[in-house]
Structure 1
Amino acid sequence: MVMENYSYTHLSAGDLLREERSRSGSEFGQLIDTYIKEGKIVPVEITISLLKKAMEETMKADDKNFRFLIDGFPRNQDNLQGWNHVMDGKADVKFVLFFDCGNEVCIDRCLERGKSSGRTDDNRESLEKRIQTYLQSTRPIIEQYEKQGKVRTIDASQSVDEVFADVKNILEKEG
């Protein structure tokens, strides 16, 4: 919905990783597959290289496409440090959209998505592992961005339309 209404290019770290995993001849495919199935975070070098390449290709195709909504990244301190190192002076994080939602709601939604997504990690065991990884590794990154005043929190337990209304308010305020 954001992409339909605003001039952002959506890049999903997870989608880029899954794409690379299934790409014929990928040197990282098996490694990515193992990490995803275990609910672990893929090594930063792989994820950043995929994000950077996607950003560069988008801007090369149309130099007016320079605003990105990066979904699912950074997920840990290593990701954040890698991003800061590789993208310093090349990209500026304006703000972070934090979709806050209880664990059971997240699990239920992912299990529902799993009925048609074909994703190997849309099962209760992987999801519970991902929640533990989130609490240990990702939540501290959100707290770092909060200290910088860059986090915009949205109650994601609401309906899709209510969540999008909150997102619209933030995007309109942020410019």
Structure 2
Amino acid sequence: MGSVVDAANKEATESAHINKKVTVVFVLGGPGSGKGTQCANIVKHFGYTHLSAGDLLRAEQNSGSENGAMIKNVIKEGRIVPSEVTVKLLQRAMEQSANDKFLIDGFPRNQENRAAQENRAAFESVIGIEPEFVLFFDCSEEEMQKRILNRNQGREDDNMETIRKRFRTYIESSLPVIEYYNSKGKVRKIDATKPVEEVFEAVKDVFAPLNDKVAY
């Protein structure tokens, strides 16, 4: 088992940097922050490709490949998928895409602060680029909780404990990444407590300088 992981890490580390010029934006936000809705708006209006680290891992896991089997075993055992493996999947998705602008959703973050930092370092070293910025949807826990409960049609007793665990995981996994990039002046914080339309107006202000033409 270990040899499979080691081989995957070696392949990822030794791979060449991504072979085209790309713009990458990391997207972070808690459950109920509206991140998914805003990512869809960014894709529609600014022509980005939305890449979810979780979706890519699940797809690889179901592909029947050797890497997929390794990912499945690692997740089953409650361990963290090696950061280089996730980065390699992101790299492949970017290289196979005809686009050169990407939203990276759900990465780099993990349930351990150290792992989150390792993911960030792996992304920059393997792919050879830093993100243009980190788009951070800032929303109070109270507001996110209210939105999730409304979305779940009020099944409060069944979901409250799970919701709180999701909040804790989000805070523990995202803060080290936000703090690191904030120290480099790369965090663009959006007040996500406002209505969807107002939030996207703030998002447009952030993305407009990067785009010569906006598709409406």
Q: Which has the higher contact order (CA 8 A, sep 6+)?
A: 2
Counterpart selection for 2:89 from 41, 47, 50: 50
Is the contact between residue 8 and residue 67 of structure 1 (CA under 8 Å) also seen in structure 2? yes
User: Where do residues 33-48 of structure 1 align in structure 2 (5 Å cutoff)?
Assistant: 42-48=81-87
Aligned to 1:139: 175
Deviates more, 1:148-157 or 1:19-28: 19-28
Is the contact between residue 99 and residue 153 of structure 1 (CA under 8 Å) also seen in structure 2? yes
Letter in 2 for 1:136: E
Letter in 2 for 1:57: Q
Is the contact between residue 20 and residue 29 of structure 1 (CA under 8 Å) also seen in structure 2? no
- Structure 2: which 5+ runs fail to align? 1-40, 110-115, 154-158, 212-216
Alignment partners' CA distance in 1, 2:161 and 2:77: 14
Does the alignment pair 1:11 with 2:37?
no
Q: CA deviation at 1:17?
A: 2.5
Counterpart selection for 2:127 from 87, 94, 100: 87
For the residue of structure 2 that corresponds to 1:70, the secondary structure is: strand
Q: Deviations over 1:106-148 (max 9, x none)?
A: 3444456668xxxxxxx54444333223323321210111111
Aligned to 1:162: 198
Q: Deviations over 1:22-60 (max 9, x none)?
A: 44563123534665xxxx8643133212211111111xx
Alignment partners' CA distance in 2, 1:30 and 1:140: 27
Q: Label 1:159 to 1:24 Cα distance change in 2 as closer, same or farther (>3 A).
A: farther
**Bigger-Rg structure (1/2):** 2
- Taking structure 2 as the reference length, the TM-score comes to 0.62
Alignment partners' CA distance in 2, 1:113 and 1:24: 35
Q: CA deviation at 1:69?
A: 1.1
- Taking structure 1 as the reference length, the TM-score comes to 0.75
Q: Label 1:66 to 1:147 Cα distance change in 2 as closer, same or farther (>3 A).
A: same
Alignment partners' CA distance in 2, 1:32 and 1:109: 29
Alignment partners' CA distance in 2, 1:68 and 1:156: 21
Alignment partners' CA distance in 1, 2:135 and 2:181: 10
Q: Label 1:33 to 1:2 Cα distance change in 2 as closer, same or farther (>3 A).
A: farther
Alignment partners' CA distance in 1, 2:203 and 2:169: 26
Is the contact between residue 49 and residue 101 of structure 2 (CA under 8 Å) also seen in structure 1? yes
Is the contact between residue 54 and residue 106 of structure 2 (CA under 8 Å) also seen in structure 1? yes
Q: Label 1:20 to 1:166 Cα distance change in 2 as closer, same or farther (>3 A).
A: same
Aligned to 1:149: 185
For the residue of structure 1 that corresponds to 2:132, the secondary structure is: coil
Aligned to 1:72: 106
Q: CA deviation at 1:68?
A: 0.8
Alignment partners' CA distance in 1, 2:194 and 2:77: 33
Aligned to 1:120: none
- Structure 1: which 5+ runs fail to align? 116-122
Work out the number of aligned pairs and report it: 157
